[in-house]
Structure 1
Amino acid sequence: MPTLQFMRKRMLETFKTNVTTAQVMKLFTAPKEPKRSWLAHYMYPMAISDACSGCTYYLVLSNIVQYASADLRTVLMAKVDGTRMVYREQAEELAHFAQAWELDTAKQKNLSKEVVGAVGERREEETIICHECGEVRRLLTVCPN
């Protein structure tokens, strides 16, 4: 009677996806879709890397850094540690950092809109006590009473 491990191994061999090097390079050079989160974008090249057995995780790291927006790309390039050889962990850390960066910048943009909306030109009306009738009202040249 076959074991569960044996059956699982057979199923993986049967349904394994074979991806050519040209297909992998085309998939890796696809830029990040604006609607997709960074974590979802990280999972996409990781799945590609797992599908082709000969790929390195350095391509995943390169994809995350290279296809970020211009300001974020500069920050990510500065955060890449060339001496670290664990590319998979570093790519995941950078994806989390990029996600946090985008969320923070979105909050700051919304905050600036709220502040600009809240700050408006408001003229303070000058109120005084009228010497003739004793009422508190805004400044008039002639007392109406």
Structure 2
Amino acid sequence: MIDLGYALSRRFPDPPQTDYRTADVRALRHDLFCGDVYVAEGERELSTAWGWVPVLDFAWALCDIAEHLDRDPAGSRAARPQHAELDFTESTDRLRFVRRFGFVDVSADWLPDEPPLAVRHADLRREARDFLHDVVADLGDMHEGLTDNPAVWQLLTRYPRV
């Protein structure tokens, strides 16, 4: 089973004058809610320790990746590997995703000696969407107006919980 998580950074706080109700997509994805993230499967974990990863963008990108990996019409019967990458804006490091049949291997450039995590694609899709909704709920509790932002509404309707 896959586990996704995050911790917000105290070193990179959001600007105090931010109006979360009207923040644009660029700000939501790249400038706000910085911290660290992790992807775990069982006892193994791929995590950042940089403090500047945009947490909402990470959750959003995971949902995009889960959908991208499902574009082959053969779905879980597809023998041809399907690839996707999540690049971190301020770094050359990436999380790499390779789907073969119904499983996705997740590896991190910054941990080259770690074998990839293997997760079911259906679990990745479900957990990514749950993670997105949980992150938005947590951030909405901390930042007044965020859940009233039209971009956040669109995001949550695009990726409903499954």
Same fold (TM over 0.5): no
User: More strand by proportion, 1 or 2?
Assistant: 2
Higher share of residues assigned helix: 1
Bigger Rg over Cα: 1
Per the normalisation by structure 1, the TM-score is 0.29
The TM-score with structure 2 as length reference comes to 0.27
